[in-house]
Amino acid sequence: MTKLDIPFGRPWIEDLERDAVMEVLSGHILTHGPNCHAFEKGFAKMMGGGHAVSTSSCMASLHLSWMDLGVGPGDEVLLPAMTHVATAHAVALTGATPVFVDSELTSGNMDLDDMAAKVTAKTKAIGIVHYVGIPIDMVKVMALAEKHGLKVVEDCALAVEARIDGTHVGLFGHTGCYSFYPVKHITCGEGGMLVSKDPETVKRIGEFRAFNYDRSGPGPKVPGLYDVKGLGMNYRMSEMQAALGRVQLTRLPDIMRIREANFRALQKGLNAIDGVRVLDSGEDRLKSSFYCVTMLLEGDLAAKRNDIALALNERGIGTSIYYPHPIGRLRYYRDKFGYDANGFPGATAIADNAIALPCGPHLGVKDMEDIAGCMAETAARL
């Protein structure tokens, strides 16, 4: 058997990106300059609404969002059990208590009934994650939030171009937070974006992100003079990163076309295998960003997840796991907040019995057929 060459992810970098970064290095503005502003404008335009501010990472965007909302000690924030640890760290850093919500098994998103059941008098907000880019129904989330007076932050790290009834995710809550880490849809090496419908929110958070400098006061406009009206961070993006991001943004239509075709091909191939089910939104109005193909193993295959992943790796197919543990099962969170091992059957099933497969633009439909064929053969053999 020839070995396949199907890595899980691979950034799409060409001469356009290299030239854009070199051009920055030939100039004198290395951070927080014209490339950042153009990238922010371009990102907001791609989203079809809202205002954007560049940051150093998605986790920085999340942290800024929670700081802006004044979430802190004594507050509870509902979060999915099945997410990247950054989602939980950003809340825990403020001193607030993360309260985890189980996953439903069609899409892997937060179970709306469990979400409603976990609202208490201390609940201040909901941190949404669009699981591997599959949108959760924000119309229902916002209705629940309104009923209880809760704020909503959307972690859209894997959800660039995911839409609900045509509206880009990230435009429903207080803010939407994006990541440009190398395996995401587009990359800056490291980097993030924060988006909001409210220009005042973006302005306020933009200042907080840059030490909270205030140059708006009366007096002479002398370079280097500023006042500071509150605490702040340095969560800015560099011009080299933003130059990279601007070029990546122009690739997005191609990236999305290839991702969707790959996803559909692999979904069809895998769903034909007994004991395999691909997670998806289940509704046409909830349009995925097609980040990866999450294959949930059921029946006899469920217990063989690790062996199956290793067998696929052996054949040259890259795999990943989104995510390896319900957050509450991670040592830090377990020790600090306690963990009910029976409380998260959905999230536990995904953590222990699912495999994430690639569908990125470095691959084509033939690769998807090879993955499905290899998986059918592995399932029959193991």
Ligand X SMILES: *Cc1c(COP(=O)(O)O)cnc(C)c1O
| Residues in contact with ligand X by the rule CB under 6 A | 57-59, 83-84, 86-87, 129, 155, 157-158, 179, 181, 192
Please spell the DSSP secondary structure of 3-55, one letter per residue.
Answer: PP-B-S------HHHHHHHHHHHTSS--BSSHHHHHHHHHHHHHHTSSEEEEE
What is the arrangement of strands in the sheet containing 293-297, beginning at the earlier edge strand? 276-278, 293-297, 354-357
Q: Report d(CA 175, CA 11) in Å as an integer.
A: 26
Give the residue with the Cβ less far from ligand X, 168 or 315: 168
Minimum CB–partner distance for residue 307 and ligand X (Å):
26
Minimum CB–partner distance for residue 255 and ligand X (Å):
16
Minimum CB–partner distance for residue 129 and ligand X (Å):
5
Give the residue with the Cβ less far from ligand X, 35 or 187: 187
Query: For residue 244, which of 50, 15, 52 has the smallest C-alpha distance?
Result: 15
Contacts of 279 (CB under 8 A, 6+ apart): 105, 106, 107, 108, 131, 132, 134, 294, 296, 350, 354
Tokens at residue 221, please? 């406009």
Give the residue with the Cβ less far from ligand X, 86 or 255: 86
Give the residue with the Cβ less far from ligand X, 182 or 343: 182
Give the residue with the Cβ less far from ligand X, 319 or 378: 319
Minimum CB–partner distance for residue 107 and ligand X (Å):
14
Pair 191, 54: CB distance under 8 Å: yes
Minimum CB–partner distance for residue 311 and ligand X (Å):
26
Contacts of 103 (CB under 8 A, 6+ apart): 80, 81, 82, 109, 110, 111, 131, 344, 346, 347, 350
Minimum CB–partner distance for residue 10 and ligand X (Å):
16
Minimum CB–partner distance for residue 352 and ligand X (Å):
19
Q: How many residues are there in the chain?
A: 382
- Return the ∠ at Cα 316 (arms to 314 and 319), rounded to 5°: 85
Minimum CB–partner distance for residue 205 and ligand X (Å):
16
Give the residue with the Cβ less far from ligand X, 39 or 311: 39
Give the residue with the Cβ less far from ligand X, 44 or 153: 153
Only one residue has tokens 């084509």, namely: 364
Minimum CB–partner distance for residue 133 and ligand X (Å):
9
C-alpha distances out from residue 298 to 110, 140, 313, Å: 20, 29, 20
Pair 260, 290: CB distance under 8 Å: yes
Tokens at residue 19, please? 């030239």
The amino acid present at 118, given as its one-letter code, is K
Pair 69, 154: CB distance under 8 Å: no
Give the residue with the Cβ less far from ligand X, 68 or 155: 155
Tokens at residue 347, please? 């999230």
Give the residue with the Cβ less far from ligand X, 84 or 287: 84
Give the residue with the Cβ less far from ligand X, 189 or 232: 189
Minimum CB–partner distance for residue 58 and ligand X (Å):
3
Query: For residue 44, which of 209, 249, 183 has the smallest C-alpha distance?
Result: 249
Q: Report d(CA 178, CA 101) in Å as an integer.
A: 22
